[in-house]
Amino acid sequence: MALKMVKGSIDRMFDKNLQDLVRGIRNHKEDEAKYISQCIDEIKQELKQDNIAVKANAVCKLTYLQMLGYDISWAAFNIIEVMSASKFTFKRVGYLAASQCFHEGTDVIMLTTNQIRKDLSSPSQYDTGVALTGLSCFVTPDLARDLASDIMTLMSHTKPYIRKKAVLIMYKVFLKYPESLRPAFPRLKEKLEDPDPGVQSAAVNVICELARRNPKNYLSLAPLFFKLMTSSTNNWVLIKIIKLFGALTPLEPRLGKKLIEPLTNLIHSTSAMSLLYECVNTVIAVLISLSSGMPNHSASIQLCVQKLRILIEDSDQNLKYLGLLAMSKILKTHPKSVQSHKDLVLQCLDDKDESIRLRALDLLYGMVSKKNLMEIVKKLMTHVDKAEGTTYRDELLTKIIDICSQSNYQHITNFEWYISILVELTRLEGTRHGHLIAAQMLDVAIRVKAIRKFAVSQMSALLDNAHLVASSTQRNGICEVLYAAAWICGEFSEHLQEPHQTLEAMLRPKVTTLPGHIQAVYVQNVVKLYASILQQQEQAAEAEAAQEVTQLMVERLPQFVQSADLEVQERASCILQLVKHVQKLQAKGVPMAEEVSALFAGELNPVAPKAQKKVPVPEGLDLDAWINEPPSDSESEDEKPKAIFHDEEPRHVRRRQPEEDEEELARRREARKQEQANNPFYIKSSPSPQKRYRDAPGVEHIPVVQIDLSVPLKVPGMPMSDQYVKLEEERRHRQRLEKDKKKKRKKEKDRKGKHRRHSSLPTESDEDIAPAQQVDIVTEEMPENALPSDEEDKDPNDPYRALDIDLDKPLADSEKLPVQKHRNTEVSKSPEKDEVPVVEKKSKKPKKKEKKPKEKEKKKERERKVEDLDFWLSTTPPPAATPVPSMQEELSVNTVTSPKDESEGPKREELEDEEDNTEHDQERKSSRHKKKKHKKEREEKEKKKAKRKQPEREHEQEEPVQNGAAEEEEEETLPPMSSYRLLAENSFIKMTYDIQASLQKDSQVTVSVILENQSGSFLKNMELSVLDSLNAKMARPEGSSVHAGVPVPFQLPPGVSNEAQFVFTVQSIIMAQKLKGTLSFIAKDDDGATHEKLDFRLHFSCSSYLITTPCYSDAFARLLESGDLSMSSIKVDGISMSFQNLLSKICFYHHFSVVERVDSCASMYSRSIQGHHVCLLLKKGESSVSVDGKCSDPTLLSSLLEEMKATLAQC
């Protein structure tokens, strides 16, 4: 053996190690690939050896090769082998390799589960550490589910090194297995206050990451984080927390108010730039969230802007960059305070650093006004000329367009200038944003009616010079503008100076080299142009010229008919036939112009991009319903192909048929219009009918702004935008003069004022400038009765959505991390997949019932949390000051009526329903009148409702899934159940309690006590002392004596209730027992304080040691057959309750799960925290119920049956 080892290590000496491999690769620069493939062969040999050291060495080399881009997934199994090595050195190699190359698709990954579990529980902290590190990189949903509870145990490990890693990896586990979030969250929260700073930082890290995605669920943690923020000195943690607050403030403006002061202090005091920067950022977020409510934070804004200016002026490029970044956030809400730093921003535009220039560009967006737009754009245009990289130039281009088009061209006073800028931009080579320019051209030409003539002249020039645009090698981008040019020239052809020339330009053979969709537009618009030329010539009675044009068309169109693009081909052949027909008629001397132009009558209006989506679904229309019943499978297989074949043929023929004559077309058009007019679902072009025939009278009624005549309307050749700057200056000057004159004449009506657009809030100087042209069509068209909802559709595939989970709800019994159980052999016999649904079906019903009371608790619980937060957020000390905020009062009212006794329950729920007007109000209408309350209170409720809307809605979304339809059926029959029992009560306080056991601790139970203040006094210094018995002891803080009480960690203002949890250790669980105890407290009211106490007896029933555990029926059968269990039975008479309800009651109160149910007979199973199996057979006769039980402990069984008897007796 020893010999073998030595031999192995001697062999190993001559294997290549990682260093040799790296060296070898460096020495084989010429034939690297060959050398590596040789090495891989060697590695394959090494992997075949038994020696784990050799394998580890091979895997180590593979990891290096993986980085160089070689696929090593074939070695996945070998990697797992190395992972399972006993030595840490090798194990680490294995885990590193796994973390580099394993992913969800790696099929052998499921083999690692047990190995990882073993490593996690290894006595060596580094084994555990390396496993956690590796797992963090390749965790899959399966691994997450199987290992969640192991990792959760590690979160309380004694070594901080393990704790911090375990805490951090939980985030990955949550992502892959969202169900684990709620069970694990309380412990995660605890870790926020871990004594070790590393663990604390890890917990902050995880919660911040969670909260970033779904901030609203973490609002209740705000007080805790606030405490951390004021106490922590770790900059990294501080930054995280401050960033988190930045995400929370938009949800809770009051939080912002509370934050401003400490943040401002930090800004003043910290020397770390990173911290300062994040503080500024969060203050900005706060200011944004407050901007609607409180405008009085100018001091804070000033402070931020000042600090940012210092950053921007810094010589460090990083700070400059970040300063600009933060500045752009302020810009959105407080543009004025940023505008004063325009000089700085413009300066940054000239910075040599591209990132900084880009950020400065972002800022420019908010800095333009009517006055300086031309100047700024001019500056940008010079940058465009200078720019080297295409990305930066493209960015400039989009920014220019953004700036100019923002808020409906608010800052543009002269659209001729803008069009010429756009045309200038077309000269850019290799830009990707041709479509953007095109879209702008189209948009301006359509919306600004006065500019059409000018636009058309420019566009025709563009078409004339199309070869310039399209000839460059990278023509794919910019040639998009030809699309716009062609359409504008076609659509507004009446403005063309020389239509014939444009027509020829559009029919050049070169056009066929353009992309298909552009050619298609060309073809379509050629006809429009043709129609207008025809009309002109016929009016001028030049029949011959008209025929010439037709001839030109007939000659040139075939080049498009041959196009490879289907769309072009189809349009061209259709139009060719049309033109040929026209030619025929023309030859007979028939005037055609009227009819041809009728083809293109009407005007196109911009339609909002969301318009289609906003069309409301008419009442009674079910979009998911079948229009025709789908044919059965057999039918479709046999007959469908044939039908398609038959259908296709005639369609094919039809296309070849000669086109209908004009009259027919016109008639059909008319008919279609008629139909559309009558069809209520058709999206009409506009609410006010703007459709008109071109030759119809009444064009005059469209408001067209007079164009200033000093501006030349026709610019020969390509325009130069610069000249407009000058012209515009002059125009403005003249305008001012005129205005002054008018003022002198004291004319009341300022005509320019009338022309001002309504949307903007221009600065004083802006007001003087009236635009030369106006945007006529301001709003896009929407369908009638468009739904106003503007909600952004959430991406259903967002992985973080699954983590949108309410964390304030108390845990339900069903929410547990899966714990590895010893599987009986018989369980493994039945395939899991088959079983799962069975079990689910069985346990579903009782679970649903459980939900109902739980839900109430949840509601209550949530209210309490909200209240806690409110409590913290309201700056006034709550008890002393009488004017408690109304919100809080309202909340307390609700908590008072919270469901202690069961009869109160439905009432309260009803109240909720009334408020919300949502679901199931139908059954309870009868009792509604009782609930009329004071108007005032109601109003307050409204307020609260509005505030709570968000969580409520989320709740509703969840509910249908959880509760299903089954609940509604049985809701009336079964009274709500609550596991909370009355503990003790006097005039001051009422205590209810529930005992929860957990599988993790076999001798511990948690007692949750709800303390409800029933008096008008303020209760404080509450302390719970319990007389320990031999068997059960209360867990007390370390160092305190056996008889000391445990303080309740909160105080109770009047009418408020809260929940405290106490842990008890229990040795034997086979007998029920009672513990005597006392709650002592000080009640303080206006008259003074009195010392009070309340005695109680805490009843630990045997049922409370049971944990609802599902059991498969075959495993259950084996258990019964095994003969290890002792048996006992009871019988209870006089039971009227339905069997279903009976079952659910037992399931709920005694923590059983149903294994199988046949008619009125059911088998049930449960397990105690110490692992006793309890099996029940429940049979219902006419009016009696018999319960047969089998259990591993006879005493436990008899105690349980006694308890069950008591429960059944109440039924």
Partner 1 sequence: MIKGILIFNNHRKPWLSKFYQPYSVDKQQQIIRETLHLVFKRDENVCNFLEGGSLIGGFDNKLIYRHYATLYFVFCVDSSGSELGILDLIQGFVETLDKCFENVCELDLIFHVDKVHNILAEMVMGGMVLETNMNETVTQTDAQKKLEKSEAGLAGAPARAVSAVKNMNLPEIPRNISIGDISIKVPNLPSFK
Stretch 285-344 residues interacting with partner 1 (CB under 8 A): 314, 316-322
Partners of 584 in the β-ladder: none
Residues 388-407 within binding reach of partner 1 (CB under 8 A)? 389, 391
Amino acid at 583: Q
883: contact with partner 1 by CB under 8 A: no
Number of residues that bind partner 1 (CB under 8 A): 85
198: contact with partner 1 by CB under 8 A: yes
State the CB neighbour count (10 A cutoff) for residue 553: 24
**Which CB atom, from 232 or from 1103, has the smaller least distance to partner 1?**
232
Backbone angles phi, psi at 1085, to 5 degrees: -135, -165
**Which CB atom, from 67 or from 961, has the smaller least distance to partner 1?**
67
**Which CB atom, from 390 or from 1029, has the smaller least distance to partner 1?**
390
49: contact with partner 1 by CB under 8 A: no
Contacts of 69 (CB under 8 A, 6+ apart): none
Intra-chain end-to-end CA distance of the chain, in Å: 73
**Which CB atom, from 275 or from 593, has the smaller least distance to partner 1?**
275
Angle at 455 between CA 451 and CA 456, to 5 degrees: 120
Residue whose C-alpha is closest to residue 192's, from 247, 158, 153, 155:
155
96: contact with partner 1 by CB under 8 A: yes
**Which CB atom, from 209 or from 954, has the smaller least distance to partner 1?**
209
53: contact with partner 1 by CB under 8 A: yes
Q: Which of 49, 136, 897, 1029 binds partner 1 (CB under 8 A)?
A: 136
Angle at 251 between CA 248 and CA 252, to 5 degrees: 90
Backbone angles phi, psi at 589, to 5 degrees: 85, 20
706: contact with partner 1 by CB under 8 A: no
Q: Which of 236, 800, 1050, 1139 binds partner 1 (CB under 8 A)?
A: 236
981: contact with partner 1 by CB under 8 A: no
What is the Cα–Cα distance from 526 to 517, expressed in whole angstroms? 14
Distances (CA, A) of 1163 to 81, 336, 1034: 45, 74, 35
918: contact with partner 1 by CB under 8 A: no
**Which CB atom, from 55 or from 495, has the smaller least distance to partner 1?**
55
56: contact with partner 1 by CB under 8 A: no
**Which CB atom, from 66 or from 1065, has the smaller least distance to partner 1?**
66
Q: Which of 1, 3, 67, 880 binds partner 1 (CB under 8 A)?
A: 67
Least distance between partner 1 and beta carbon 12 (Å): 6
What is the Cα–Cα distance from 465 to 468, expressed in whole angstroms? 6
152: contact with partner 1 by CB under 8 A: no
Look at the block and give the residue holding tokens 């058309």: 456
Angle between the N-to-C axes of helices 32-47 and 52-67, in degrees from 0 to 180, rounded to the nearest 10: 150
DSSP alpha helices (H): ranges in 780-882?
825-829, 832-873
What is the Cα–Cα distance from 324 to 70, expressed in whole angstroms? 42
User: Residue 680, class by beta-carbon neighbours within 10 Å (0-12 exposed, 13-18 middle, 19+ buried)?
Assistant: exposed
Least distance between partner 1 and beta carbon 14 (Å): 8
Q: Which of 24, 35, 42, 64 binds partner 1 (CB under 8 A)?
A: 64
835: contact with partner 1 by CB under 8 A: no
What is the Cα–Cα distance from 498 to 762, expressed in whole angstroms? 41
Residue whose C-alpha is closest to residue 334's, from 371, 372, 368, 366:
366
Residue whose C-alpha is closest to residue 987's, from 878, 884, 1093, 901:
1093
Which stretch in 3-11, 608-616, 667-675, 1155-1163 sits in contact with partner 1 by CB under 8 A? 3-11
Q: Which of 9, 298, 476, 903 binds partner 1 (CB under 8 A)?
A: 9
Q: Which of 46, 47, 55, 63 binds partner 1 (CB under 8 A)?
A: 63
209: contact with partner 1 by CB under 8 A: yes
Least distance between partner 1 and beta carbon 382 (Å): 21
800: contact with partner 1 by CB under 8 A: no
CA 912 to chain centre: 28
Residues 161-180 within binding reach of partner 1 (CB under 8 A)? 161, 164-165, 168-169, 171-172
70: contact with partner 1 by CB under 8 A: yes
Residue-by-residue DSSP string for 371-417? TTHHHHHHHHHHHHHH--SHHHHHHHHHHHHHHHHHHHHTT-S-HHH
Look at the block and give the residue holding tokens 């990083």: 318
Q: Which of 83, 132, 367, 446 binds partner 1 (CB under 8 A)?
A: 132
Q: Which of 17, 156, 369, 1031 binds partner 1 (CB under 8 A)?
A: 17
Residues 342-361 within binding reach of partner 1 (CB under 8 A)? 352-356, 358
Which stretch in 270-278, 785-793, 833-841, 1035-1043 sits in contact with partner 1 by CB under 8 A? 270-278
Least distance between partner 1 and beta carbon 243 (Å): 7
Q: Which of 75, 116, 206, 290 binds partner 1 (CB under 8 A)?
A: 206
Partners of 517 in the β-ladder: none
**Which CB atom, from 94 or from 1077, has the smaller least distance to partner 1?**
94
**Which CB atom, from 142 or from 904, has the smaller least distance to partner 1?**
142
93: contact with partner 1 by CB under 8 A: yes
DSSP alpha helices (H): ranges in 214-314?
222-231, 235-248, 253-269, 273-290, 298-313
State the CB neighbour count (10 A cutoff) for residue 187: 16
Least distance between partner 1 and beta carbon 5 (Å): 6
932: contact with partner 1 by CB under 8 A: no
Contacts of 370 (CB under 8 A, 6+ apart): 410, 411, 412, 413, 762, 766, 769, 771
Q: Which of 31, 41, 104, 901 binds partner 1 (CB under 8 A)?
A: 104
13: contact with partner 1 by CB under 8 A: yes
What is the Cα–Cα distance from 907 to 933, expressed in whole angstroms? 13
Partners of 1162 in the β-ladder: 1157, 1178
Least distance between partner 1 and beta carbon 918 (Å): 36
Q: Which helix (H) or strand (E) holds 1156?
A: strand 1153-1158
958: contact with partner 1 by CB under 8 A: no
**Which CB atom, from 87 or from 673, has the smaller least distance to partner 1?**
87
The answer to whether 1165 touches 1111, Cβ cutoff 8 Å, is yes
Least distance between partner 1 and beta carbon 87 (Å): 5
Least distance between partner 1 and beta carbon 712 (Å): 42
Residue-by-residue DSSP string for 435-474? HHHHHHHHHHHHH-GGGHHHHHHHHHHHHHTHHHHHHSTT
Q: Which of 50, 69, 657, 795 binds partner 1 (CB under 8 A)?
A: 69
Strands 1004-1013 and 989-997, sheet pairing: antiparallel
1009: contact with partner 1 by CB under 8 A: no
Least distance between partner 1 and beta carbon 273 (Å): 5
What is the Cα–Cα distance from 440 to 719, expressed in whole angstroms? 17
Which stretch in 202-210, 488-496, 570-578, 875-883 sits in contact with partner 1 by CB under 8 A? 202-210
Least distance between partner 1 and beta carbon 355 (Å): 5
Q: Which helix (H) or strand (E) holds 1078?
A: strand 1073-1085
Backbone angles phi, psi at 659, to 5 degrees: -70, 160
